[in-house]
Amino acid sequence: MALDAADLGPATALVCRECGEKYDLGPRYACEQCFGPLEISYDFAGVSREAIEAGPRNIWRYRGLLPVPSNVESTPNTEPGLTRLVRADHLAESLGMQRLWVKDDSGNPTHSFKDRVVAVALAAARELGFKVLACPSTGNLANAVAAAAARAGIRSAVFVPSDLEQQKIIVTAVYGGTFVTVRGNYDDVNRLASEIAGEQDDWAFVNVNVRPYYAEGSKTLGYEIAEQLGWRLPDQIVIPIASGSQLTKIDKAFQEFIKLGLVEDKPYKVFGAQATGCSPVAAAFKAGHDVVRPVKPATIAKSLAIGNPADGPYVLDVVRRTGGAIEDVSDAEVVEGIRLLAATEGIFGETAGGVTVACLRKLVSTGALDPEAETVIINSGDGLKTLDAVAPVVGPSAEIAPTLEDFRASGLA
């Protein structure tokens, strides 16, 4: 498709986040002047609470705020979004908090927030003429790309580290696309994907050559939180950090809603959560640095195991601007966080969710986060994807014979 014929809704240009250089919409992701990352600029029109509420019960209710065609909801896609916002009173009580909510994105089609970003990337990629949907991934993105491509009737090509959790490997492979495991960590896989993208002109690597469009999908988390809270912003929000894009885009969503008059302009604090075994952004924040030093990941939270996070510096900007903080927790604390969320709210989060809950507890205990202020935390994926993390520490309460006598003797009554 000729790029001037592409329908990308309210999107008007690509803008460098560093130097401000502008480019026409198209399949580019880095500035030619300074090599800074590009993001979408918009000309919003006709966006209102009423228009949004009248839309479909998925992310396409926000299509007037995304770089997608006006008819996006009529093309085959996984229709992610509008996941539940759970009032977490039991978890709040256990942590000594007043008002706490869990945005539970495990309810998406492939059970993680990645369905959001992939849906937006797919819609834009098709408008830009790509024929194959591809990605490097730590697991959840692989699941989402393979499923979205199958639903759209196009080929997928997915690349993951060979030591990925078995559950995520199976879930990706079942969709039947091209699936490659790579001997290396995520940063190795990502470098390889960038090289392949340079040779395969019709392959849309969602988080490489169409990354500016892909990243905008995370804004829908912020939009939904504000709408589900009754068109208002929370006082505080805790977000897991992998590449950092989810955190920066939720903040962007809040800012867009404020500028459009859809919510009241009020202060809010953004907090980040990392596993200690891959915590380059937390380390930079605590040291007062503006540069994020890459690390080699070593954590059970593989979905957050990005040692050189692309949006790390922008995460630091958002957190410092809003008066938040970035914390990190050990793998043992991650497992405790998973179990605490499950036991108090009946939500089985994956390791990234455990990171967020454990960091929330640490932020409260250190006084960095106000326990009396309304707080939202993100559970970005389903615990069934990371069973190995909790398998060693959970199991049956007892094993008994099929008799009433054995049940009584067990002391379980």
Condensed to tens digits (0 to 9), the pLDDT of residues 178-195 reads 999 999 999 999 999 999
Q: Domain 112-211 belongs to what topology?
A: Rossmann fold (3.40.50)
Confidence of residue 270 (pLDDT cuts 50, 70, 90): very high
pLDDT at 6: 85
Structural contact between residues 177 and 297, judged by C-beta atoms closer than 8 angstroms = no
Over residues 381-396, mean pLDDT: 96
Q: Is 62 exposed, middle or buried (0-12, 13-18, 19+ CB in 10 A)?
A: buried
Pairing outcome for strands 132-136 and 269-275: unpaired
Confidence of residue 268 (pLDDT cuts 50, 70, 90): very high
55 contacts: CB under 8 Å, gap ≥ 6: 61, 62, 63
Sign of CA dihedral 234, 239, 244, 250: negative
Confidence of residue 3 (pLDDT cuts 50, 70, 90): low
Structure-block tokens of residue 377: 């935390």
Number of neighbouring beta carbons within 10 Å of residue 115: 29
Over residues 239-260, mean pLDDT: 98
pLDDT at 4: 62
| pTM over 0.85, yes/no | yes
Structure confidence by residue, pLDDT tens digits, 124-172: 999 999 999 999 998 899 999 999 999 999 999 999 999 988 999 999 9
Structural contact between residues 279 and 245, judged by C-beta atoms closer than 8 angstroms = no
Q: End-to-end distance of the chain based on CA atoms, in angstroms?
A: 68
What proportion of the chain, given as a percentage, has pLDDT over 70?
A: 99
Confidence of residue 1 (pLDDT cuts 50, 70, 90): very low
pLDDT at 5: 67
Q: Where are the domains of the chain?
A: 85-111+216-389, 112-211
Which of 204, 234, 250, 282 shows the shortest CA–CA distance to 105? 250
Say how far residue 267 (Cα) sits from the centre of its chain. Answer: 23
Average pLDDT across the chain, whole number: 96
Equal fold, 85-111+216-389 vs 112-211: yes
Number of neighbouring beta carbons within 10 Å of residue 86: 16
pLDDT at 340: 98
pLDDT at 2: 47
Structural contact between residues 286 and 272, judged by C-beta atoms closer than 8 angstroms = no
Match domain 85-111+216-389 to its CATH number in 1.10.3720.10, 3.40.50.1370, 3.40.50.1100, 3.30.565.10. 3.40.50.1100
pLDDT at 376: 99
Confidence of residue 261 (pLDDT cuts 50, 70, 90): very high
Helix (H, G, I), strand (E, B) or coil at 111: coil
Over residues 86-113, mean pLDDT: 98
- The yes-or-no verdict on residue 117 having pLDDT over 50 is yes
- The yes-or-no verdict on residue 299 having pLDDT over 60 is yes
